[in-house]
Amino acid sequence: MGGGMSSATLFTEDPRNVSDSPALLQRLSGIQPVKLLVIGFAIVVLLALIAYPLALLIGYSLIDAQGNLAFDTFEKAFNRRGMWAATVNSTVLVGLVTAGACALGIPLAWIVARTDAPGKILVTLAAGISFVIPSFISVVSWIFLAAPNSGYLNKLAVEYLGFTQAPFNIMSFGGLVFIEIIGVYPLVFFAVSAALHNVDASNEQAARVLGAGRLRTTLTITLPLVRPAILSAIILVMLDALSSFGAPAAIGTMANFSVITTKIYDLLKFPPQFNYAAAVAMPIMVVTAVSLLIQKYAVRAENFRTLTGKASSEQITTLGRWRWLAAGFCIVVVFATAVLPVGALLLLSVLSSFGADITLSNLVTKHYALIFDADFVARGSIINSLLLALATATVCAGLGLVLGWVVERVKFIGREAITFLVMIAYGFPSIAYAVGILMGYVNLFYGTLTLILIAYAGKLLPIAFVLVRNGIQQLSTDLEEAARISGAGWLRSVRDVTFPLVRGAVGVAWVLVFSLSLRELSMSAILSQADTQVMPTVVIQFIEDGAIELAAALSVVIVTVSLSILGLIRFFSRKKTAVVS
Amino acid sequence: MNFYSPAAHILPAVEAQPARLELRDLRKKLGDTAAVNGIDLKVAPGESVVLLGPSGCGKTTTLRMVAGFLQPEGGEIHLDGKLASSASFALPPEKRHLGMVFQTYAVWPHKTVADNVGYGLVVAGKKRAEIDREVAAVLELVQLGDLAKRYPSELSGGQQQRVALARALATKPTLLLLDEPLSNLDASLRQEMRFELRALQKRIGITTLYVTHDQDEALVLADRVVVMNKGRIEQVGTPEQVYRTPASRFVGNFVGTANLLEGTIVTVDRAAGRVSVALDAGDITTARASAGWLATAAPGKRATLLLRPEDIRFDRPEKPDQQTGLDVRFVSAAFLGSRYELQLTAKDTPLRMQSRTPGSFTDGRVRLWFRPDSAWVVA
């Protein structure tokens, strides 16, 4: 082996040239400890964040106050006073909101995607704004506009339009339905208009060539093609309305009605009744699970038609004199969902007091001064919110990267389970999830921001996961394999190749999670204590205390920070070097 | 400049030099089908071996097992005489010291050409000056010297291909793997690159394992062609061997165009390695056959003869292998510039023929002659 010796000294980094290496040592070189450690850690965190609280929630709904197995918890929970009324309210709310969002969103999508109505761009902009503003902030705006007596629209109507009594009352069940509709209709609008944009013109042209008229083509070709998009959006809207908490809490308190989510919140007030809260959350969980299954099997089965075309000018319908009717509809929507609420919020935040005349002398900055006052609760909540958003976004982006990589790149049985678990967390109502977090971690992290961070991270992880996973999906495996062949280990190949190439997706995920963390209310309401208030809980507190001007000022802070951080997306989606093949 | 002094010096200079790559009874299932079903192969240092077969024959699976991206379920892979993969052990890809060119090129879009090519050297911990020198040398080798600072998106497909090749060569691997590297190029560039790759491989003497489904590519690039089908090796041989003396009907059909004529054996001449066969289509001809087949051949048994389209002629040779010439009927003809491509039938057997002349048919019929020594028994 004379020759072998010299080669071994020359190329010691090459294990194959270390002659006669023992079998065990050789076997060990096949193990990749860093990879196992990182992936294992991410999976443990995932289980702790999502699987554990959900298991607790289901478990608690099956026991009585003493911890014994009991199946009458549901019965007892729902026989509590007002519980059936709350259930009926929730059901009616879901039905009306879904119908309303479709009635608003589908025609708007068609007008924007397929007609020559003027002002189309404004509708998209308004829907975007409406989507960014959480419903508890809409409540602040609409109290200003349409509170029974002092709302400025009511005053306008009575004083100048000859109404004998105030025409609007936002502090009612109808008011709640209205606020929820303008909050969720963008889901329908964006989904359907994207689908309409993607229907290749040749599909419709083929029908026209065969003799179908414009209306017939729309009904028999276009609508069926976008039906999956409509169904998906409807399911999202239903789940959103069912699990909504902010607006029902704010309006329900004033108008004296409850829905299921506000009942859960009440059950957790001192003394907390975890088992009843868990039992009441069960129906929401079941509806959510069923909806997600419908979505997965029914809607996706129908969605085999991949829509990949580009709308062309040939698909634009000329409305003729109907054009102005469509434009009128658009303008009403733009005003009602964006201009009025945003204007109201800004105005209210600088008005000396709610109800004062709108004159220059009544405009003040004292509310903002108070918001940022060091001795006042709002300032602490701003800091808490920003810290939490920062931490949540970072945790979610990191976890999303590792889990997305695992699911896309490693073949093992558990990867379907990871996807399933993450998507469960996505569809899961926040309020129920927060109950699970409370039960699982209250002893460890009572009254700390960590408790809220756990909840935020678990609930928002799906958004980061889906975005980053899509990014990884678009990367050819070859790119990473080329790095491995070049001698880079797993971690290094991820650092040098995978991460730089999905940096855009990770960045967008970070920004979105940050922005969503800032406006999270339902979980914060349950989990925050005196020292761990966040901006949304303080807004709700201001509303309940009647300090509506302060609520407006703090809401402006939330919306401003959210919008400016969302502006970073442009930065992340800018192509730096090349299109990935 | 001699960029590539192949890693000969790292190999023990002993008499029995180990094969650079050895596959022993390699097996792998993908889903329920046996993608690779027992493969034995040795690749000698400096040799260029091409795995050729239709899609799904297991050639890419084999290559990916050699690279270390897939683990075999049975058998072993040895690199330079050391175990690299078995059912219970897999050396990670980064520890195999290989070079690989991917079908999609896999050139990293966020790195410049120079950074792509130098990556393996950076990972190996080489000094900056040395990396720069080696990158420049290997870029020179693939004629990309002036594009070092460009990003891949600014390059053509052919140039990206060269970057991928340079990157694979930069670390001076002991074995270069190529996975259908030319299949994404357009036809004319593909033909040009074939010859260039072959010249490069010969010049630097690197051991190469090349996967393709393109028979022309295989014939140009290979010292030895390994024809695969359904997870097994059908034949291993030089390009001439697999083309002229295919071991099976499959090989005959897959490598080039095959006319298969059935017949009954009349006489067997084992000493000369020939048989004479009475063709079902008429005429009696002699044909070469492998020793293994001849061992069991006997008059009265059936035989299948392979004839390449270019070995069939209108003119009777001086010493024909046939008695009367094969009587065929005209079906169709196409003019392809350098030749005519004719479709004929002999009784019911379809026949394809390449000819410099369109031929003169009487009542649509003509007699054909085989180039002497060209008929070959495939089974």
Sequence-distant contacts of A101-104: CB under 8 A, at least 24 apart: A101/A181, A101/A184, A101/A185, A101/A187, A101/A188, A101/A237, A102/A188, A102/A230, A102/A234, A102/A237, A104/A181, A104/A185, A104/A188, A104/A189, A104/A333
Residues in B touching A14 (Cβ below 8 Å) = 10, 95, 97
Separation between Cα atoms, residue B51 and residue B65, nearest integer Å: 13
3-state secondary structure chain B: CCCCCCHHHHCCCCCCCCCCEEEEEEEEEECCEEEEEEEEEEECCCCEEEEECCCCCCHHHHHHHHHCCCCCCEEEEEECCEEEECCCCECCHHHCCEEEEECCECCCCCCCHHHHHHHHHHHCCCCHHHHHHHHHHHHHHCCCHHHCCCCHHHCCHHHHHHHHHHHHHHCCCCEEEEECCCCCCCHHHHHHHHHHHHHHHHHHCCCEEEEECCHHHHHHHCCEEEEEECCEEEEEECHHHHHHCCCCHHHHHHCCCCEEEEEEEEEEECCCCEEEEEECCCCEEEEECCHHHHHHCCCCCEEEEEECHHHEECCCCCCCCECCCEEEEEEEEEECCCCEEEEEEECCEEEEEEECCCCCCECCEEEEEECCCCCEECC
Neighbours of A87 (CB within 10 A): 17
Q: Which residue does chain A place closest to B90, by CA atoms?
A: A30
What strands lie across the sheet with B74-79, from one edge to the other?
A: B33-43, B21-30, B74-79, B82-85
Best residue of A17, A36, A486 to probe chain B, by most B CBs closer than 10 Å = A486
Place of tokens 């059950």: A267
Asked whether the beta carbons of residue B110 and residue A10 sit closer than 8 angstroms, the reply is: no
Residues of chain B with pLDDT under 50: 1-2, 6-15
Q: What are residue B243's phi and psi, to 5 degrees?
A: -85, -45
Q: Which of B107, B164, B171 sits opposite A487 (nearest CB)?
A: B171
Q: What's the pLDDT score for residue A73? A: 73
Q: Which of B10, B84, B90 sits opposite A17 (nearest CB)?
A: B10
Separation between Cα atoms, residue A349 and residue A370, nearest integer Å: 11
With beta carbons less than 8 A apart as the criterion, state whether A120 and A339 touch. no
Determine the CATH number of domain A32-67+362-581: 1.10.3720.10
What is the crossing angle of helices A83-114 and A173-198, to 10°? 40
- CA B64 to chain centroid, in Å, comes to 17
- CA A522 to chain centroid, in Å, comes to 12
DSSP state of A296: I
Separation between Cα atoms, residue A454 and residue A458, nearest integer Å: 6
Q: Considering Cα of B250, then B255, then B258, then B263, what sign does the dihedral take?
A: negative
Neighbours of A412 (CB within 10 A): 11
Q: What's the pLDDT score for residue A306? A: 46
Chain A closest-CA separation from residue B87 CA (Å)? 12
Q: What's the pLDDT score for residue A473? A: 84
Separation between Cα atoms, residue A78 and residue A169, nearest integer Å: 30
Separation between Cα atoms, residue B179 and residue B197, nearest integer Å: 13
Separation between Cα atoms, residue B208 and residue B45, nearest integer Å: 9
Q: Which residue does chain A place closest to B82, by CA atoms?
A: A16
Best residue of B108, B154, B183, B209 to probe chain A, by most A CBs closer than 10 Å = B108
How far is the CA of A500 from the CAs of A578, B109, B260, in angstroms? Answer: 12, 10, 56
With beta carbons less than 8 A apart as the criterion, state whether A318 and A116 touch. yes
Q: Tell me what ipTM this predicted complex has.
A: 0.80
Q: What are residue B328's phi and psi, to 5 degrees?
A: -125, 160
Give the pair of three-digit tokens for residue B377.
Answer: 């028994």
Q: Considering Cα of A207, then A209, then A213, then A214, what sign does the dihedral take?
A: positive
| Exposure on the CB side of residue B22, measured as CA atoms within 13 A | 10
Q: Quick one: B236 exposed, middle or buried, by C-beta within 10 A (0-12, 13-18, 19+)?
A: middle
DSSP reduced 3-state for A115:
strand
Separation between Cα atoms, residue B361 and residue A330, nearest integer Å: 79
Q: Quick one: B240 exposed, middle or buried, by C-beta within 10 A (0-12, 13-18, 19+)?
A: exposed
Give the pair of three-digit tokens for residue A360.
Answer: 């220059």
Residues in A touching B13 (Cβ below 8 Å) = 2-3
With beta carbons less than 8 A apart as the criterion, state whether A433 and A526 touch. no
Q: What's the pLDDT score for residue A65? A: 65
With beta carbons less than 8 A apart as the criterion, state whether B41 and B226 touch. yes
Separation between Cα atoms, residue B200 and residue B195, nearest integer Å: 9
Residues in B touching A474 (Cβ below 8 Å) = none
Strand bridging mode B232-237 / B208-212: unpaired
Place of tokens 């409305």: A319
DSSP state of A318: P
Q: Considering Cα of A210, then A214, then A216, then A220, what sign does the dihedral take?
A: positive
Q: Which of residues 491-510 of A touch B (CB under 8 A)?
A: 492-493, 496-497, 500-501
Place of tokens 């606020």: A179
User: Within an 8 Å CB–CB cutoff, is residue A4 touching chain B?
Assistant: yes
Q: What are residue B373's phi and psi, to 5 degrees?
A: 70, 10
Q: Do domains A32-67+362-581 and A80-349 have the same CATH topology?
A: yes
- Determine if the peptide bond prior to A22 is cis (ω within 30°): no
Separation between Cα atoms, residue A116 and residue A313, nearest integer Å: 10
With beta carbons less than 8 A apart as the criterion, state whether A98 and A91 touch. no
Show me where the domains of chain A are located.
32-67+362-581, 80-349
Q: What's the pLDDT score for residue A25? A: 58
Determine the CATH number of domain A80-349: 1.10.3720.10
3-state secondary structure A157-173: HHHHCCCCCCCCCCCCH
Report the amino acid identity of residue B357. T
Spell out the alpha helix ranges (H) of A47-172.
Answer: 52-60, 73-78, 83-114, 120-132, 135-146, 152-160
Report the amino acid identity of residue B77. I
With beta carbons less than 8 A apart as the criterion, state whether B255 and B242 touch. yes
DSSP reduced 3-state for A420:
helix
Residues in A touching B117 (Cβ below 8 Å) = none
Domains and CATH numbers, chain B: 18-250 (3.40.50.300), 257-377 (2.40.50.140)
Give the pair of three-digit tokens for residue B185.
Answer: 């190029």
Residues in B touching A489 (Cβ below 8 Å) = 92, 94
Give the pair of three-digit tokens for residue B87.
Answer: 């059912």
Separation between Cα atoms, residue A345 and residue A534, nearest integer Å: 19
Asked whether the beta carbons of residue B90 and residue A579 sit closer than 8 angstroms, the reply is: no
Asked whether the beta carbons of residue B167 and residue A486 sit closer than 8 angstroms, the reply is: yes
Instruction: Give the residue from A138, A134, A112 showing the smallest Cα distance to A340.
Output: A138
Asked whether the beta carbons of residue A29 and residue B92 sit closer than 8 angstroms, the reply is: yes
DSSP state of A271: S
How far is the CA of A32 from the CAs of A206, B31, B91, B122, in angstroms? Answer: 56, 25, 10, 21
Residues of chain A with pLDDT under 50: 1-22, 304, 306-307, 576-581
Q: Which of A16, A17, A489 sits opposite B94 (nearest CB)?
A: A489
Q: What is the DSSP string of A195-222?
A: HHHHS-HHHHHHHHHTT--HHHHIIIII
Place of tokens 């019965």: A75
Place of tokens 């109404």: A163
Q: What's the pLDDT score for residue A29? A: 58
